[in-house]
Every structure is written in C-alpha cells, then in structure tokens.
C-alpha cells in the first residue's frame, strides 16, 4: 500500500457513530480513518501510526481534548502532525482559543456537512505538503 496515495487520519472521538460517519465521508476521497474511542487510546494510536492528520473531539470522558492536544504538541515525535478540532462545543470563544492561542490547524463545529469536513481536511493536508 503506497502511503503517498492513501492519507492516514486518526479520529479521536468518544462517539462510535461519529467515527463511522467521518470514516464514511473521508473514505470516498481515499483517506483511511482509524477511530480511537477516547484520548488515551487516541494518543497511543497517534504515537504508533504517525498519521497525516488528527481529528480531535474536545469533550470526552477519559481525557479532555485540549489535554490530548497539549500532549501531542509537547511530544517531539508527533507534534508536527496537523490537528483539526471537531466538536459540538461550538462557542466562539473555543474557536478563538483553538485557532489563535492553541494554534490548531482548523476547527469544525458539529453538526457539520460532509462538504465542510472534506474542505477542512483537504485544506489542512494540502498545507502540510507545501
């Protein structure tokens, strides 16, 4: 399997239906989605697979999404992997915090359209290449 053609995404999300929805949307565009049901599992999966992109939910029971994000960014082995925050916590302050302070690569509020997700993923992945 040629890694240059198939992009790898780790989706850290506690809702299995949301992981399936994201997998369904992105697989149509040749993106392989690995679902991680929570922050601990997600961090372990990111460290093992070194994906092209991380989709990160903020509100999870085992570990808050911002905590996961801080751990990713403080780990030199994985801190260059782009992160898109995908969350139902759509208050503007979170978006401002996410993009300007924490420097996430993008932010998608649930519910989102398949097109919104694809546009965000393609935008972030194309930035990574350049």
How confident is the model at residue 2, as a pLDDT? 45
Does the pTM surpass 0.85? The reply is yes
- Going from N- to C-terminal start, the domains of the chain cover 7-125
Rounded CA separation 81/54 (Å)? 7
Average pLDDT over residues 90-114: 73
Give the separation between CA 114 and CA 4, rounded to whole angstroms.
Answer: 23
pLDDT bracket for residue 103 (50, 70, 90): confident
Instruction: Name every residue whose Cβ is closer than 8 Å to that of residue 35 and which is 6 or more positions away in sequence.
Output: 11, 13, 16, 19, 20, 22, 23
Q: What is the pLDDT of residue 3?
A: 46
Query: Which DSSP symbol is given to 37?
Result: S
With a cut of 50, say whether residue 22 has pLDDT above it. Answer: yes
Give the pLDDT of residue 90.
57
Topology classification of domain 7-125: Rossmann fold (3.40.50)
Which has more confidence, 5 or 53? Answer: 53
């Amino acid at each position: 399997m040629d890694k240059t053609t198939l992009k790898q995404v780790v989706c850290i999300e506690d809702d299995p239906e949301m992981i399936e929805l994201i997998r369904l949307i992105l697989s149509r565009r040749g993106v392989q989605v690995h679902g991680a049901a929570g922050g601990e599992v997600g961090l372990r999966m990111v460290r093992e697979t070194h994906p092209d992109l991380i989709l990160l939910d903020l509100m999870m029971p085992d570990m808050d999404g911002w905590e996961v994000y801080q751990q990713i960014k403080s780990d030199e082995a994985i801190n260059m992997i782009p992160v898109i925050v995908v969350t139902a916590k759509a208050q503007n302050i979170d978006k401002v915090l996410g993009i300007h302070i924490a420097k996430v690569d993008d932010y998608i509020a649930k519910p989102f359209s398949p097109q919104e997700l694809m546009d965000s993923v393609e935008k972030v992945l194309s930035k990574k290449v350049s």
